[in-house]
Each structure stands twice: as C-alpha cells, then as structure tokens.
Structure 1
Amino acid sequence: MSKVYLSAKLPDVTVKILKDAGLTVSAFDGEGLISHDELLKNVTDVDFLITPLSTKVDQEIIDAAPKLKLIANFGAGFNNIDTDYAKSKGIPVTNTPAVSTNAVAEVTVGLILALSHRVVEGDHKMRTTGFPGWAPLYFLGNEVAGKTLGIVGFGNIGRDVARKARALSMNVQYWQPHIVSDPETRSIGAKYVPFDELVKTSDFISINAPQTKDNHHQFNADVFKQMKPTASIVNVGRGPIVDEVALLAALKAGEVGGAALDVYENEPKLTPGFEELYHNVILTPHVGNATVEARDAMGSIVANNVTLVDGGQAAKFVVNP
C-alpha cells in the first residue's frame, strides 16, 4: 500500500480522497510550519509528498525519499521546490493552478477599495482616538471609478482582476513580457502598455505575476520615483518582486501614496517599519486564496493527482515535464 505524507494540515477533502483510494496517509500535526529536519525524517519511506508552497523541498529532501513518485505542491506557485532536480530523478512536480483565481482577484480588488476609502485607517481611528463626528471635509478618500489600474502579470488572476475592475468603472491597462491576443484584450477591456508607461500613468498598480528569475526587485527605488505620488501599489503576486526597503523609503518620502501587501520579500517576516505606517499601508498575512472554496479545490487537485499516479496514470498540472 502506497504511503502519502502531508507536510501541513490540509482540508479534510484531501485526506478523504486519499483514504478512499486505499492509501496510507500521515501528516505533520505540529504548530506553525514544518521544519526542514522534521520533513527530512518523515519522507524516507513515502511514495508521495503533498506540501504547501511555504515548505522548501530541496535536493536533500528529494534524496532522502528514494521511493518518491510525485511531489504535489499545494499552491499555484512552485518556487519552493527544486523542480529541475526532481525532474532529473524522474519525479513529476505538480501545482494547483486556476482554482484560486477568483479568490485572489477578489482580495486584490478588496485591497484597492480599502486603500481608496481608507477603511483600515478608519478602523484604527475608531479603536483608538475615535472621531469628532461627521463633517463635510473629514476623512476624505477617493472613488476608484474613472481611475487607472495598471496590472503587472496578465494571467488568469490578472485578467480576472481586470474584469472586476472594469465592473467598477476603472480604466485598465496591463504589462507582462508578452502581449495577450487582441480579441481577448478587447473582450476584457484592458490595453497593453510598456512597463514604464504603466508605472507613470497608473493610479493603482496591482502585481499579479509569479516570481521568475527576471522580476526580482522589478519594483525598486527607480520605479517608485516614476510613480504618481498619489498612486498606490498592491502586491498579491510574490514578495521578492518588490524591493520592500525601497518601497518603505518611498512611502515615507511621499513618492508613493499607499501600499497593500499580501506577500512579503522575506516571508513570513515583515520588513521593519511597515507596521508603523497604518495610515497608508495595509498588511495581510498571505490570504489571497485563503477561502474555503479555493482551499478545498486545491486539496482535491493534489489528492487526485496522487491517486492518478498511484494508479499508473499521468498527473495533471505537471510543472517540470
């Protein structure tokens, strides 16, 4: 009977699918994230590893699991896994694309609205000093209708953000390394612009791109200087795309109007100083796809991939073919 190890607590649907298929399932049940040493000890005799994107699966882990037939990553990203080394060992690595699209797009738009209407700042005020009462010019925010949203990364999530933003009467432009086909761009209601133009002309910039070797610190001090001083940046893509030290300096200098971060450069650690800027910064703990619906769908994908491979079939969503 094949053995499956879950390196994190996963939705009940995951375990049910695996056990219904007759697989032996064991899981990390400690507090917080599993340590490298703990993972190392638990993969020595497993056939399948299901792991979240917060857990590093490097060459040492892979070598410690000689029976390993599949690494199923619980997440759309997979930069936590040495996919090339896994491929050299004949081990497919899978991810869970698409199913978190709506959840992440909703969070993106929610953060834009919260920044515009100063929701988090207002909540802080009510919990601390209170407010003096309604007045015509008190605590003004801005409407998003008619404003320009620049989306960096126009995959499934970026496109869904565009659709939702268009429903809010925003003007939408995007940049990514390649241009989306013209009919699709028109149907979504977004236009392609060069990166520099997007940075200079957007009222909001939403980062919805995956992490690649080319976009580390794509948003740096020089880029922040080009932004409108009233513009806000929202990062729900990957933390290292943004130079957080430079962003913090730009916010303090008034070069950038606001920021909302759901992912972090040195996750889960926060760059010191951001926690002080409650008036124009929103910080959320990587909750982009943290919905019951999305996580259950992700759990079903990883479990079904395990059962496919255990039954001699090819896994779906292989990222290292």
Structure 2
Amino acid sequence: MKKVLVARPTFPDVIERLKQYFEVDVNLGDVLAQDEFARRIADKDGAFTAGEWVGEKELAGAPNLKVVSNMAVGYNNFDMKAFDAHKVLGTNTPNVLNETTADFGWALMMAAARRVTESEHYLRAGKWQKWSFDAFLGADVHGSTLGVIGMGRIGQALARRAGGFDMRVIYHNRSRVAPEIEARLNAEYVSKEDLLKRADHVVLVLPYTKENHHTIGAAELALMKPTATLTNIARGGIVDDAALIVALRDKRIAAAGIDVFEGEPDFNPDFMLLDNVVLTPHIASATEGTRRAMANLAADNLIAALGEGPRAGNPPNPINPDVLKK
C-alpha cells in the first residue's frame, strides 16, 4: 500500500477513509517541528497538511512524494516553484468554506463596530453600575459603506450580505470582476486608495502573496476615516500588525477585528493592551460542518491524486495541474 502522512489530528472518520486505500501515519500530537515533519514525509507517497511549510528541503528529502493535500484554501505554506521542480502536486480546499468564512467576517466586523468585546470585558469586570446614553457608542453598520479588498468567492459572499444591511459596496481587486457580478452585488470597483478613504468598514479577504505583503500598512491606515473599522479574515502578513497597533492605540481608526496574524500562532503582544480590537485565533472557517467538508475534500484530493477512488488520477482541486501531465 502507498504511504501517507496526516500531519495534524483530524476527524477519525476521515482517517478511516484514508486507511481504506493507504498505510496512514497520523500525528495525533502537537504541530510537528519542521525537522520532524521532514523526517515523517521522507518515505511517503502523499501528505495531508494544514499549514505545514513544504519547500525545497522537504520535497528533496521525499523522493516518493507525489501529492501534498492542504486542508485550507490558502497555500502560502507551499513553495510552488519547488513543487513544480520536483513534479509534486499541491491541492487545496476552495469553495466549501466560502459562506462560513463570510459569516464570521461579518460577525467580526460587527463586533468591532459595536464594541462588543470591549463592553463584555467591562461587564465581566463588574464595572457596569448604571445605564448611560454615551456608554460604548459604536458605529452603525446598516446604511454605511463596506469596502472589500479581495473580491473572490469569499469577498463576493461578504458583499452579498451587505444588501440586507442597505450598505453601499465598493471593492478593490487585482482585476475587476465580471459586470454581471458587479450588478448582482451592486458593487463599485475603485482604487485601493479611494476605497480606504471612503469605506466605513474595510474587510480584507485577499490571498497572501509576496506582492500582497503589508497591503495595509501605516500609509494605508492613515487614509482611513478615524471612525472606520478594519477586519482581516485573510492571512497574516497582509496587514502590518505593528502599524495597526499604533493606529488603534492612537485612535487613527476606530476599531479592528483580527482573525489572522503575522507569525501566528505567535502574535504581537501589544494587541492585548488595546480595548478597540477584537481578536480571534484563526477560526473563520471553524464550524463542524465546514471543517468536516474541508477535511473530506482534502482527503478526496489525496486519494484521487494517488490513483485511488472514484476520481482516480483526477483530483478535484489541483493547484499546479501541469504536473499531472508530466
């Protein structure tokens, strides 16, 4: 039987599916150290990952490896040049998490706008002694302007929700979406600078690339309204976290909701000193139904890429499909 590594714990029934086809090495403990991950994939034909770095060193040390299946939409943990050079297929899990992630982005944006975390901490600390007309005045979401940076599947799902709140939608993307999508979402394409100046609530849903590193830094934050909020459900590194902390501390923007961080799970501890930020540990897709769908799709990709199952040789979500032709 072919051998596969499951680098992180996942649903037992998904492991059982894989065991129908493969000899499965499952890591049931903490995240593997990079050297241990490299050692564990050295004799494997495939790997099921959830954020582990896979680059030249790892691929060169695993001569039998044919596929690495990432349980995520993003794959900035893959060195795709190395994948192509070693003729290893990378796969991901798009679409199954669009709606759930959009739900969470909306929740995070509203929590930041309405100061939910700050007011809950106040209540839990026993500080609430009386009602006051000016306590925790936040920003309206309804009737405001939503700025979406990254109008892919999740960005479009966010924009669709804006209709129910009677919001104006402006967006910036690497390229404009089709006119029929703009019409359906009632969305206006604008420059990034214009979006930052006009939006009451900015939400980031673009993929991480070298070009997108620090898409939002000190200069961009300075363009935003002092009453605006920023929500990041995309990837760490798209925002300059240190610059954001300064902007929040100095009230250059009103609030932020952050689900992803530079260097996560480590993150800048100065975030913890701020009241006007909602912090969550990369959980935008964290519902049981969605995470199960992601895990099963990652398994589908792995099984098919290794020539097994009903889609043998035709995995649903190849990132670099040209290697299948070589």
The interval holding the TM-score normalised by the smaller chain is: over 0.9
Give the Cα separation in 1 of the matches to 2:266 and 2:147: 27
Do 1:152 and 1:207's aligned partners in 2 also have CA atoms closer than 8 Å? yes
Do 1:13 and 1:300's aligned partners in 2 also have CA atoms closer than 8 Å? no
Letter in 1 for 2:27: F
- Residues 1-321 of structure 1 correspond to what in structure 2 (within 5 A)? 1-20=1-20, 22-31=21-30, 33-53=31-51, 55-278=52-275, 280-311=276-307, 312-321=312-321
Deviations 1:246-267 (A, max 9, x none): 1111112221111111001221
Give the Cα separation in 1 of the matches to 2:102 and 2:13: 24
- How many Å apart are 1:204 and its aligned residue? 0.6
- The secondary structure found in structure 2 opposite 1:129 is coil
Do 2:67 and 2:302's aligned partners in 1 also have CA atoms closer than 8 Å? yes
- The secondary structure found in structure 1 opposite 2:230 is strand
Question: TM-score, normalization: structure 2?
Answer: 0.94
Do 1:162 and 1:190's aligned partners in 2 also have CA atoms closer than 8 Å? yes
Q: Which moved more, 1:280-289 or 1:35-44?
A: 35-44
- How many Å apart are 1:115 and its aligned residue? 1.4
Give the Cα separation in 2 of the matches to 1:309 and 1:223: 42
Q: Which moved more, 1:155-164 or 1:77-86?
A: 77-86
Residue segments in structure 2 that go unaligned for 5+ positions in a row: 322-326
Letter in 2 for 1:320: N
- How many Å apart are 1:59 and its aligned residue? 1.3
- How many Å apart are 1:151 and its aligned residue? 0.3
Letter in 2 for 1:172: V
- How many Å apart are 1:4 and its aligned residue? 1.2
Deviations 1:95-138 (A, max 9, x none): 11111111110110001111122111111011113312223333
Give the Cα separation in 2 of the matches to 1:13 and 1:189: 42
Residue segments in structure 1 that go unaligned for 5+ positions in a row: none
- How many Å apart are 1:288 and its aligned residue? 1.0
Kindly, what percent of the aligned residue pairs are identical?
34
Q: State the number of aligned residues.
A: 317
Do 1:17 and 1:304's aligned partners in 2 also have CA atoms closer than 8 Å? no
Alpha-carbon RMSD: 1.3
Do 1:102 and 1:160's aligned partners in 2 also have CA atoms closer than 8 Å? yes
Give the Cα separation in 1 of the matches to 2:165 and 2:13: 35
Give the Cα separation in 2 of the matches to 1:220 and 1:283: 18
Deviations 1:179-218 (A, max 9, x none): 0111111111211111111000101100000012211111
Do 1:219 and 1:241's aligned partners in 2 also have CA atoms closer than 8 Å? yes
Letter in 2 for 1:126: L
- The secondary structure found in structure 2 opposite 1:206 is strand
- How many Å apart are 1:11 and its aligned residue? 2.1
